[in-house]
Amino acid sequence: MAALSSTSATLSSRVSFHCGGGSHTSSSSSTNNNNTANNILRPTKQSSFGMSSLILRFPPNFVRQLSNKARRNCSNIGVAQIVAASWSDKQGQSSFSAAESKALNASASAAAGITAPQTGEDASCENGTVNGINGSVQKIDDNVYRPAFLKDDGSIAIHAGERLGRGIVTDAITTPVVNTSAYFFKKTADLLDFKEKRAISFEYGRYGNPTTVVAEEKISALEGAESTLLLASGMCASIVMMLALVPEGGHIITTTDCYRKTRIFIETVLPKMGITATVIDPADYAGLEAALVNHKVSLFFTESPTNPFLRCVDIELVSKLCHAHGAVVCIDGTFATPLNQKALALGADIVLHSATKYIGGHNDVLAGCVSGSMEIVSQIRNLHHVLGGALNPNAAYLIIRGMKTLKLRVQQQNSTAQRMAEVLEAHPKVKHVYYPGLKSHPEHHIAKKQMIGYGGVVSFEVNGDLETTIKFVDSLKIPYIAPSFGGVESIVDQPAIMSYWDLSQSERAKYGIMDNLVRFSFGVEDFEDLKADVLQALEAI
């Protein structure tokens, strides 16, 4: 290691490394032997500053020429580059002497513990031909390699670096985005093994993606589920779930307070398939039992907490009642998040989320997910494969990234919402506050039993009419006036305008949506800043 340190010091003072025209060192590992490396790496001529600037030009299949041992051991970038070549320059003399070059290679190789691969190891490079994966790569000149069976540049542009196998990045900290619409099989026998279920593989982008699978497994782990399916949006997840689990002529039970688009689907689309619905108050357990007795119920579906009044159902009780009559229970836990509430552990069969909200958490992605047993999720997955609505792998990457800070975000949002709900409830210009963390909430006792935190959304009614409420909203400086919730940025809206403006005032009132209702989604801004902003906006009305 002393020799390596000395070598590194020499390098740092005499050489600047470049790879592919960039200004940073390459992360490639060592070559198999020095002769091979001489054909791969070319130092540039003396620079105007009197320094030798070595430009490392690695062919596309360079990594595949390395032995497994070299890849494992050569974690130091500088060492990898030293071992990669004995420095020589046919265009001009290198600034290293022969003795220095020999010392560099010898000391680096010893430090990395690298030996040339034996027969049968990854690849050999002799006489300009690299025996690679699934074929051969022909060396055209000192720096260019191409698949031997490809002659035309157009074909090379399509297949070089990929068709003969490629590096699979398994040690990257972040999950790679796999942007592909289809997956290939190396031979028909592999395809037959897959079709006859002797092997597992990806096949078509609508049926699955490696990046998406990582996000699904992360959600399953949080929910304690056997399986999770990610779809293009929360509504897509809800619709595919209902269509998969409710047969023609079936019956659904749902609750009065819910996302409006879900209600529209249940009231206008499902009847075309002969599917009927009973709508009950979230606390009407007698009504639930009556509907279970009077109908052949396939599914009980509700949000908990609900949108926008944050009503809560007793998930344990509802699950027992429904299971006694053979009905499946699905809880939309979007407002709760997988951290604040474990619906499956409480007895539900499925938990659904609009991952657009807290799971993604940055107001930059659309996604929905369903989690539950392998048996039930497989039914939903099979229909999903027919209908489409697949999540883009770039969106899956954003979900993965967002989930890494889920706990930090939700803890802050729980705390801010609870404290702001208490501030609002005590304010003379606020008529009523809806938040399950308050003792005044009708289902506070249920929320306290089944939730760890109460979420980041607070709904409330100000003292005033539509115009007064508009003035309050417009006086706020921090939150955006927008739909959605659960992101790092605070968002505020008037449901009467944002979601129900197409209905008359009296029609809105049937759903409890009054003109003075405000839904406030608290982000991760500082509590004192948010409090000051809300108070000054209230003073403005």
Q: Partners of 204 in the beta sheet?
A: 182
Question: Shortest CA distance to 483 belongs to which of 338, 307, 330?
Answer: 307
CA atoms within 13 A on the CB side of 289: 7
Helix (H) or strand (E) holding 369: strand 368-372
Active site residue 42: no
CA distance 347 to 495: 32
Query: In terms of C-beta density within 10 A (0-12 exposed, 13-18 middle, 19 or more buried), how is residue 39 classed?
Result: middle
The neighbour count for residue 457, using CB atoms within 10 Å, is: 25
Given the residues 257, 332, 493, 515, select the one marked as catalytic: 332
Annotation says 166 is catalytic: no
C-alpha to C-alpha distance for 362 and 404, rounded to whole angstroms = 12
Residues 145, 259, 358, 500: which is the catalytic one? 259
Which one of the listed residues 42, 146, 357, 409 is annotated catalytic?
A: 357
CB 412 within 8 A of CB 488: no
The catalytic position among 57, 183, 190, 206 is 206
DSSP string, 156-224: HHHHTTTTT------S-SSPPP---SB---SSHHHHHHHHTTSS----BGGG--HHHHHHHHHHHHHHT
Q: Helix, strand, or coil here: 503?
A: coil
CB 165 within 8 A of CB 134: yes
Active site residue 332: yes
153 is catalytic: no
Task: Give the residue numbers marked as catalytic.
Answer: 206, 259, 332, 357
